[in-house]
Amino acid sequence: MPIRLPRILVAVALAATTAACGQPAAVRATTGAGATLPFAEATLDRLVKEHGALDNRQLPLPQAVFRTLDADGNGTLTRDELLRPMPTGTQGLKASALSARSEMDRLADQLRPKAQGGLAAAAADEPATAEPVADAREGRTIGGWLLGRYLRLVGHYGSEFMLHPKRHEDRRTPADLGLTYTARTLTAEDGIRVAAWHIPAASKTGKAVILVHGHGASKAIWLQSVVLPALHEAGFDIIAIDLRRHGASTGDHVTFGLHEPRDIAAAKAWARELGLDSLGLLGLSLGGASSIRAAAADPDFKAVWDDCAFASFRMAVLSAASRFQAPFVRLVVAAVLESANRKVGADMTEADPDRWVGRIAPRPLQIVHGEEDPFILAENSRVNYAAAQEPKSLWVVPGAGHANSDGTAPEAYRSRVVAFFSKAL
């Protein structure tokens, strides 16, 4: 069943659409300063009908959210204004909006370069104005503010979902499969502590595959996949890691391939200590994207198996926004990108796999994707495949969902993954 945004955010988005279209602003609220705020009466009627009296107890906007908005910078919006309780009823909604009627103008300036035309087109009809000048004009200005507030909230929460997933808690270990292993905490070059396992092969071959999990998961997911036992039985050592901000590893943010290659580099250093000199990477989703960038920058990795990586951070956000049925999806993508980049303090699109995948050649690359993946569409892998150089191969698995190709076609997956690394390493 599709996941939907809170009804109040959808209502606010609808209100923004109504006001931005310039409907008659028949209802006004007066503040202590004597200024007036126009609002489409039909919009107010709809909000009241759906939500009753709109006050700070009913709106799902706790004070912490307003503090975040304030910290992000909102021009003339002061902390007192942001934290001021909203009076009961529609008059309170209108009065609270008054002092921020130009917020969309400022938001547009911040997001326009990242929207690739979407936000610019939406904001083009709303240049900054010092004061309302006419009912229709004022309606568009307030509509812009509502849309700006909606985008700021969804941008914040959307980036939180992307950057700070709930940690995957799974206490299973390779011992549960009857495998001997060593657990170790590695240190990445930026100080992040990376939890890792080493599962030695039955006999020493010097060959190893580093397994890299996906978003919101941990190294324990390999215990339920055909991949780990298949490679182990084929004579490969296995190193499995928890990426930063996942599992037992430290880290403040998931960075979608920007800094995760440092975690993979820490695993490589451990492999070298163990006498493993022929290394391959197998990554799932976020792990696939991180593996692509790691291998593109480090020729010591001799082969890459990428399962369902996104082609770009933008496409990953677009998939999530579409999944949540977010109104104004192109603007939401721009807002989430801007918010995520600000929190991480870097441009995460610099790590986009479609920018790096072409640098893996002449080492072999296998790309896998589930045809029915609802989260990261198979088109992502087709984009990456088109950007890659030979030798490369694309396997789209019929009927498979996200990160489930090994479960949908286990025997084919097992035989292919073993054959790939046996030949490459």
Q: Which residue has the higher pLDDT, 406 or 114?
A: 406
For residue 179, pLDDT over 50 is answered with yes
Q: Running DSSP on this structure, what letter comes out for residue 88?
A: S
Q: What is the mean pLDDT of residues 179-187?
A: 98
Model pLDDT, residue 172: 94
Distance (Å, whole) CA 229 – CA 67: 49
pLDDT digits (tens, 9 = 90+) for 372-408: 998 999 999 999 999 999 999 999 999 999 999 999 9
Q: Quick count: other Cβ atoms within 10 Å of Cβ 398?
A: 10
Share of residues in the chain with pLDDT > 90 (%):
54
| Torsion 240-246-252-255 (CA) sign | positive
Q: Running DSSP on this structure, what letter comes out for residue 94?
A: H
Q: Quick count: other Cβ atoms within 10 Å of Cβ 119?
A: 27
Residue with tokens 């610019």: 120
Tokens, residue 196: 């890792």
Strand pairing category for 207-212 and 193-199: unpaired
Tokens, residue 411: 């025997």
Q: Quick count: other Cβ atoms within 10 Å of Cβ 80?
A: 8
Task: Please give the model's pTM, rounded to 2 decimal places.
Answer: 0.70
Q: Give CA separation, 388 vs 192, 313, 325, 394, 403, in Å.
A: 30, 17, 32, 10, 21
pLDDT digits (tens, 9 = 90+) for 196-223: 999 999 999 999 999 999 999 999 999 9
pLDDT digits (tens, 9 = 90+) for 298-318: 999 999 999 999 999 988 888
Q: What is the mean pLDDT of residues 67-78?
A: 35
Q: What are phi and psi of 346, to 5 degrees?
A: -160, 165
110 CB contacts (<8 Å, ≥6 apart)?
338
Q: Quick count: other Cβ atoms within 10 Å of Cβ 287?
A: 33
Domains belonging to the chain, first-starting first, are 7-163 (no CATH), 174-312+352-424 (3.40.50.1820)
- N-terminal to C-terminal alpha carbon distance within the chain: 43
Q: What is the mean pLDDT of residues 105-130?
A: 37
Q: Quick count: other Cβ atoms within 10 Å of Cβ 2?
A: 8
Contact 218, 238 (CB under 8 A): no
Contact 53, 86 (CB under 8 A): no
- Pick from 221, 232, 215: which is nearest to 181 by CA? 232
Number of DSSP helices (H) and strands (E) in the chain, helices first: 17, 10
| Cα-based angle 299, 304, 310 (whole degrees, multiple of 5) | 115
Share of residues in the chain with pLDDT > 70 (%):
65
